[in-house]
Structure 1
Amino acid sequence: MPLVLMQHGGLASLTGKTGLAMLRHRPGPIVAVIDPEHAGERLDLVTGIARPVPVVRDLAEALPYGPTVAVVGLAPSGGGLPDAMRTDVLAALDAGLSIASGLHSYLNDDQELQTALQPGRWIWDLRREPAGLGVGKARAATLPCQRILAVGTDMAVGKMSACLAVHEAATRAGVPSAFVGTGQAGILISGQGVPLDAVRVDFAAGAVEAAVLSAAKILPPKGLLLVEGQGSLCHPGSTATLPLLRGSQPTALMMVHRAQQSTIDRLPDIPLPSLEELVAICESLAAIARPIGSPAAPRVRALALNTARLDDQQALKVVEQVGERLGIVCRDPIRHGADDLLQALMSPETEHLVKG
């Protein structure tokens, strides 16, 4: 279905990461982007994303392009609907569009928006805890497909983008593949998954397990299931990695790291362990809470390195150095492609050697 993205100041800001991810990875039509700060400018010059989508001032300018759904592309601090966007959300509903939102505040609970909703249309608050959840029982361990979980060294280092890049590489290579979104952007792009940060902690592993079991139904025995990572073991405010490990029962891990980062990005007084230490920690945690008779414990088979803050020459040098140091495949999947990462993650025989 044709979408209009409501970015409202988020095209050149981290608050717009949901919409930017959709522009980079969603295969379906995005017919316009609303951002008054950049109206009339070329999307590729503002964002670096080579997608021919017009940037317009407001919903009225977007309507001639024929959208049927308006998507809130922002992830603002506090999770509420920004005042600057509210006018366009109301205009979209008045015009007969449906709305998709990953905000923490639920648009369905807003009486003014409900009144504007037209018959046969919907408001999708995707950040609601799914109904009927139970605790995790390691059921994903019985699946015959390969399950790759992205584990990050920090928040917002590119775990979703790395998974989607590998998913796209698998599609090009003819490898049956599926992606499980665990955050708002991943769910909006794929249409499936679980909003992990909206799930009560006791049911988090069970929610991941249910999403993995559901997504695996479309895959053959040798298919590849990529599970979007959330948070980080290194971040003092994050609890997401353990339920992802428990619920997905991965067969391999893909570490995701920002090049040359040595502390938590927004908490510079919190140092990061070395990558060698982090590989060992993640593998140790992934080796427990597994059923009797499970295959060998998952290893970190590849490192997706985010080099966005480096120039081309620096990026190539750092990728080579880190890969040689860890003895595993290392690539920036956005800058250099994900074909080598895919090959490393798909091959059970890939040698894993962490050098001291």
Structure 2
Amino acid sequence: MLSPDAPLVLLQHGGLDNLSGKTGLAMLRYRQGPIVAVIDPAHAGADLQTLTGIARAVPVVADLAAALAFGPAVAAVGLAPSGGRLPREMRADVVAALRAGLNLASGLHSRLAADPEFAAIPLAPGQWIWDLRQEPAELEVAMARCAALPCRRLLAVGSDMAVGKMSACLELQRAAQRAGLDARFVGTGQAGILISGQGVALDAVRVDYAAGAVEAAVLAAAQGAGAEAWVLVEGQGSLAHPGSTATLPLMRGSQPTDLLLVHRAGQSHVRTRAGAVPVAIPPLPELIAACEAVAALGRPDGLRPRVRAIALNTALLDAAEAERQAQQISALTGLPALDPVRHGADALLAALLAAPATAG
């Protein structure tokens, strides 16, 4: 629904310098289409690159009225607040955007199209509100159809939630495209879908149909893909997290040929709610073996996908410690391990290309 070339303004109120704004920050880093302005009253006038470290020249303005001067066609909610509800301080700019004729894209749990205040605003012909966190229509139970695809299918699996699975896939896609390869990305969360314009919001799908929804999204992305193509499937959750169920339908639906483990370097326990009993992340070789074993089940082809490399998140570490952690993890697992955001994904891509075209 969101075309790649649509000029976009990010509604980033209070989220330019913290994880509540991770959706918008990911779009600033990875969306190839134009982002013409960012709205964050707390940082209006600031230099975006200095504030975020993202090498993109986009003006930061105080409100929608100031953003209109830059010609946006779509306003996108860039926040991922706790509970998934639209922050009160953003409402005035949403109203202003709709009244100005802008389209609206949101990955929040709250449905903006059903909000009485927004629904009362008459939309112009062709104007739309896209609440992307919705279950797709006409879902089916998965039937392992992706196993018959000729292309390679990489699924990112994590040692925890929110460790950078989407970023790792998008960095790999960049590296593959620079190398002249056909690499396609399947978004499964709000940021990935907003960046790519398509995919499936997995956490909005009933459990019986979750694998089928992933299957349909991968089949759609893989149309016309040959044996040399790669379909990179954004992971969600973790087999190691007691509150996560997302990895299994991703494995069943995508029928991956290859796995990429994503891990925050130095993290020993999964992050859970305050007061929860601590849950340790298994030693990485054990977690790798578990992911490979589970991914080998429910397949018509009898293949056992392998973890080919480890994408590290070293954002909280200095350069020396990041390098030490990478070397230690590589020695422990026998796999290439590096931070694709910090160092680029060329070495991860090389490990994938060196692996056999059939899993095992």
Q: TM-score normalised to the size of structure 1? A: 0.96
Q: 1:139 aligns with which of 145, 155, 159?
A: 145
Give the distance between the partners of 2:160 and 2:110, measured in 1 at CA: 25
Aligned partner of 2:288: which letter?
Answer: V
1:295 Cα deviation after fit: 5.9
Are 2:139 and 1:130 aligned?
Answer: no
User: Which residue number corresponds to residue 285 of structure 1?
Assistant: 294
Give the distance between the partners of 1:329 and 1:216, measured in 2 at CA: 27
Are 2:60 and 1:55 aligned?
Answer: yes
- Structure 1, unmatched stretches of 5+, are none
Tell me the matched-pair count.
Answer: 350
1:85 Cα deviation after fit: 0.3
Give the distance between the partners of 1:112 and 1:118, measured in 2 at CA: 16
Asked if the contact 2:150/2:225 (under 8 Å) is kept, the reply is: no
Give the distance between the partners of 2:345 and 2:224, measured in 1 at CA: 23
1:265 Cα deviation after fit: 2.4
Aligned partner of 2:317: which letter?
Answer: L
Asked if the contact 1:150/1:229 (under 8 Å) is kept, the reply is: yes
Give the distance between the partners of 1:104 and 1:82, measured in 2 at CA: 12
Q: 1:214 aligns with which of 220, 225, 235?
A: 220
Aligned partner of 2:278: which letter?
Answer: D
1:119-177 CA-partner distances (Å, limit 9, x unpaired): 32000000000000011111100000000000001111000000000001011000101
Are 2:306 and 1:299 aligned?
Answer: yes
Task: Spell out the pairing of 1:165-244 with structure 2 (5 A cutoff).
Answer: 165-244=171-250
Aligned partner of 2:281: which letter?
Answer: L
1:255-276 CA-partner distances (Å, limit 9, x unpaired): 0000010001235711111101
Are 2:50 and 1:45 aligned?
Answer: yes
Q: 1:324 aligns with which of 328, 331, 334?
A: 331
Give the distance between the partners of 1:206 and 1:240, measured in 2 at CA: 13
Aligned partner of 1:263: which letter?
Answer: H
Give the distance between the partners of 2:317 and 2:308, measured in 1 at CA: 24
| Identity among equivalent pairs (%) | 64
Asked if the contact 2:296/2:302 (under 8 Å) is kept, the reply is: no
Q: 2:72 aligns with which of 58, 67, 71?
A: 67
Give the distance between the partners of 1:36 and 1:146, measured in 2 at CA: 44
Q: 1:108 aligns with which of 92, 113, 120?
A: 113
Are 2:341 and 1:334 aligned?
Answer: yes
1:348 Cα deviation after fit: 2.6
1:244 Cα deviation after fit: 0.3
1:305-324 CA-partner distances (Å, limit 9, x unpaired): 00001001111121122112
Asked if the contact 1:254/1:301 (under 8 Å) is kept, the reply is: yes
Give the distance between the partners of 2:324 and 2:270, measured in 1 at CA: 23
User: Which residue number corresponds to residue 315 of structure 1?
Assistant: 322
Q: TM-score normalised to the size of structure 2? A: 0.95
> Which 10-residue stretch deviates more, 334-343 or 318-327?
318-327
Give the distance between the partners of 1:145 and 1:237, measured in 2 at CA: 32
Give the distance between the partners of 2:137 and 2:40, measured in 1 at CA: 35
Asked if the contact 1:4/1:67 (under 8 Å) is kept, the reply is: yes
Give the distance between the partners of 1:218 and 1:273, measured in 2 at CA: 39
Give the distance between the partners of 1:72 and 1:216, measured in 2 at CA: 28
Aligned partner of 2:169: which letter?
Answer: C
Asked if the contact 2:185/2:232 (under 8 Å) is kept, the reply is: yes
RMSD: 1.4
User: Which residue number corresponds to residue 3 of structure 2?
Assistant: none
